[in-house]
């Protein structure tokens, strides 16, 4: 039965969320700004480009 297991922490997820303050995305936007998201987008685009190139190389083999 699920209730037989000891409680791992003293705080629920909901309580932790309240103590944590603002939601993650909003907080990140406030602390890092636009340049942070631009850098992430650029890195993601580079990764996609690399994966496409690798996929095309596999097709030609």
35-60 pLDDT, tens digit each: 999 999 999 999 999 999 999 999 88
49 within domain boundaries: yes
| Residue 28 counted as domain residue | no
- Give CA angle at 29 (23, 32), nearest 5°: 125
- Domain-embedded: residue 51: yes
23 phi/psi in degrees, rounded to 5: -65, 150
Q: Is the dihedral of CA 6, 20, 25, 38 positive or negative?
A: negative
Domain assignment present for residue 9? The answer is: no
Mean pLDDT for 20-31 is 75
Higher-pLDDT residue of 13, 1: 13
* pLDDT at position 2: 55
What's the structural domain count of the chain?
1
Distance (Å, rounded) from C-alpha 33 to C-alpha 27?
Answer: 10
The verdict on residue 17 lying in a domain is no
Token pair listed for 60 = 């030609």
Q: Is 55 inside a domain boundary?
A: yes
Could you list the residue range(s) of the whole structural domain that residue 57 is in?
33-61
Q: What is the pTM of this model?
A: 0.51
């Amino acid at each position: 039965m699920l209730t037989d297991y000891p409680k791992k922490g003293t705080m629920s997820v909901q309580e932790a969320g309240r103590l944590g303050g603002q939601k993650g995305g909003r907080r990140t936007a406030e602390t890092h700004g636009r340049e942070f998201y631009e850098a992430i987008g650029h890195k993601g685009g580079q990764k996609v480009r690399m994966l496409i190139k690798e996929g095309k190389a596999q097709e030609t083999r």
